[in-house]
Amino acid sequence: MADVQTLLRDLRSGAVPSSDLVGTLAVPLHAVDADTPVHEIEPLFLDPALLRIGVIDRNAANRIGLITRSRFNAAMAGRLGYGRAVLTRRPARAVADWEPLVVDASSPVVEAALLAMARPPESRFEDVVVRSDLWSATGTAELVHSLAAALADQGIRDRTTGLVNRHFLEHTLASWAHEIRGSRQRLAVTLIDIAGFGLLNAAHGLPHGDRVLASMAQALTGAYPGGCVLGRLGDDEILVVAVLPAVPDERAREVAEELRQRALRTLAATPPGFADGEWPPVRAVAAVSLQAWADGPLLLQELHRDMRRKKAERAPIRPRPGLESGS
């Protein structure tokens, strides 16, 4: 229980990422009146696709009962096998669970999963009712699966930018380097460095620096093709990794340069919400592997060597019209 409450607290504080809303998982409930005889409900469960029934109390519009298939079967079996004989003429209200977990359709699925798992062991895996214009429900299994996916995603994401973290970038480089072996493909990498990021944080505060990083990450994500992987490599560094098709060496270098220039163009102008002096300039360098062979650590070394050289030369950090000849 304590672990669940800790996760729930972390979710609300932002430590566990939110996800889709419960309404995206919920399925509309087949609803019956609370006075419907049980013998009229039994045929409904002959449909294997029907997993649960909502029970509506006309005297309490905001109250709903839930009859799941497993609950109904257990009730009809009853003690010593006499459940059906005892209940067949009783109303649906007699077999309904009138205290199901109810969440709003606008609740994150992660929070609903945590609430479901916080229930006592005997009811932990009962279905969850979803409140909206029409009553609906979802299974706890679906919610827990979403929770697991969110926690797994948290392990590869940088919280400030939403981009993948350094560990995942290194894994991607290694994986893609293995995949291009024997082909004519190659890897292209672009390193973007925020100039004077430490001074920016000192002048405007760490929250402002985080806002700059998040804005840059969002802009770059929209600027690059979907097949690219973007991640936060260091405090003030963003890396873009792409697989290039089979092209000659000269064309591969041109494409790498185009990817580098795309970063500079995307981040050149100060976006809305930032005043003069609040949006820092950036530098970018690019590298491309050989055909059919790439080494992730070597590519990163090349990028950082070129970046150090660029910083030492105090090269222009705003994009120029057309493509530059070097990185």
Percent of the chain with pLDDT over 90: 69
Question: To the nearest whole number, what is the mean pLDDT of the chain?
Answer: 88
At residue 165's C-alpha, the angle toward residues 218 and 281, to 5°, is 45
Start-end of H helices in the chain: 2-13, 38-41, 69-77, 83-87, 109-117, 140-154, 166-179, 197-204, 206-223, 249-268, 296-313
Asked if 247 and 257 count as a contact pair (C-beta separation under 8 A), the reply is no
At residue 258's C-alpha, the angle toward residues 200 and 251, to 5°, is 150
Right CATH for 166-313 from 3.40.630.30, 3.40.50.620, 3.30.70.270, 3.90.110.10: 3.30.70.270
Write down the pLDDT at residue 13.
55
133-184 confidence digits (pLDDT tens): 899 999 988 888 877 777 777 778 999 999 999 999 999 999 999 999 989 9
Write down the pLDDT at residue 246.
94
Q: Is the pLDDT of residue 2 over 80?
A: no
Q: Is the pLDDT of residue 324 over 70?
A: no
Per-residue pLDDT averaged across 96-113, rounded? 92
Structural domain spans, the chain? 2-154, 166-313
**11 vs 118, more confident:** 118
**155 vs 218, more confident:** 218
Q: Is the pLDDT of residue 56 over 70?
A: yes
Asked if 290 and 299 count as a contact pair (C-beta separation under 8 A), the reply is no
Same topology between domain 2-154 and domain 166-313: no
Q: Which of 78-87, 101-110, 262-271 has the lowest mean pLDDT?
A: 78-87
237-277 confidence digits (pLDDT tens): 999 999 999 999 999 999 999 999 999 999 999 999 999 99
Q: Is the pLDDT of residue 323 over 70?
A: no
Q: Is the pLDDT of residue 34 over 70?
A: yes
With CA atoms as reference, report the closest residue to 195 among 262, 99, 130, 268.
Answer: 268
Residues 6+ apart with CB under 8 A from 239: 169, 189, 190, 191, 192, 230, 231, 232, 233, 303
Scored b (16 or more CB within 10 A) or e, 103-141 reads: bebebbbbbbbbbbbebeeeeeebbbbbbeeebbbbbbe
Max mean pLDDT range (5-9, 207-211, 322-326)? 207-211
Write down the pLDDT at residue 325.
35
In the CATH scheme, what is the code of domain 2-154?
3.10.580.10
Find tokens 């220039």 and name the residue.
261
Residue 14's pLDDT band, with cuts at 50, 70 and 90, is low
Asked if 242 and 225 count as a contact pair (C-beta separation under 8 A), the reply is yes
